[in-house]
Structure 1
Amino acid sequence: MNQLDPIDRRILEILVADARIPLTELARAVGLSKTPVAQRLKRLEETGIITGYRAILSPLKLGLTHVTYVEVSMSDTRQKALEEFNAAVRLIPEVEECYMIAGGFDYQLKIRSRDMAHFRQVMAERISTLPYITSTSSYVAMEAVVEQNWTAI
């Protein structure tokens, strides 16, 4: 982040809000011509600050209105076991996020499903079959208060 000047930061803020903005509009918004903005974009991509561009889908419009956080405790936390768990959890499409946690449990999953019945099915048929799980605790989200793409640049 130290290599980012205020113009780079402004470019990133604009792209987070609208990654499809035409280069001419982006250049106008940051007060530069197209060529230096294109060069900055290329540098931001090459250095890995910008890792890609994608469509952000609305889970609600897709009927995925149920969010549950699941704490997972493992029977084995050696590297091989963690790698096996990581590979297996990546294959479950309902897992929107998965974090290894330093604390009273080993992983936290964010599961998106249609409803409680769908969540129960995901737990029974997919989550509970993941390798090395000893226990899980589930917490149903009642309301999304803040849910956004990362924008603190």
Structure 2
Amino acid sequence: MNDTDIGLLALLRANAREPAAVLAKKLRVSRGTVLNRLTKLEATGVIVGYTVRLKPAAGAQRIRAIASMAVDGNATSAVLQSLRGDPNVEALHTTNGRWDLVVELQADDLAAFDKVLNRLRLIPGIATSETSILLSTQKL
């Protein structure tokens, strides 16, 4: 990736619906260059898709949380596989330091969230976890 690709990705993160002509003007390159770079970034798997970001308050009022998890021994792959299949898991992150994984969770209400936590506690290989409910979002 070169500077144009990096700049293009930064602009797309801010607004993936920006027209190619506007992107080209901001990057000071031709529209054709932008379209060629987009095609290349998509073909090589750097860009894997485009999505819509909603303000948390714009969607249904859901319980959102971050769960930090320590994993037993070499069980990370098995734990990740179990978590990937859970419909309440929004994102999974491997980390360094005290916790092996950070898991973004969501549920419709506190009762459903309690069930999610109970289900996650039963996954073999999770040694310990700490969960924090997200109260507000300051920046998207």
Q: Give the TM-score normalised by the residue count of structure 2.
A: 0.78
2:122 counterpart (103, 115, 129): 129
RMSD across aligned C-alpha pairs, in angstroms?
2.5
Q: CA deviation at 1:64?
A: 4.5
Task: Give the paired residue count.
Answer: 140
* Contact 1:68 1:110 (8 Å CA) reproduced: yes
Q: Any gaps of 5 or more consecutive residues in structure 1?
A: 149-153
* Contact 1:72 1:107 (8 Å CA) reproduced: yes
Q: CA deviation at 1:89?
A: 0.2
Q: 1:108 to 1:28 in 2, by over 3 A?
A: closer
Alignment correspondent of 1:4: 2
Q: Give the TM-score normalised by the residue count of structure 1.
A: 0.73
The DSSP-based 3-state class of the residue aligned with 2:117 is helix
Q: Any gaps of 5 or more consecutive residues in structure 2?
A: none
Q: 1:1-153, aligned counterparts within 5 Å?
A: 3-5=1-3, 7-74=4-71, 76-78=72-74, 81-124=75-118, 126-146=119-139, 148=140
Cα distance per residue 1:110-147 (max 9 Å; x no partner):
212233222112112x312222223322222232223x
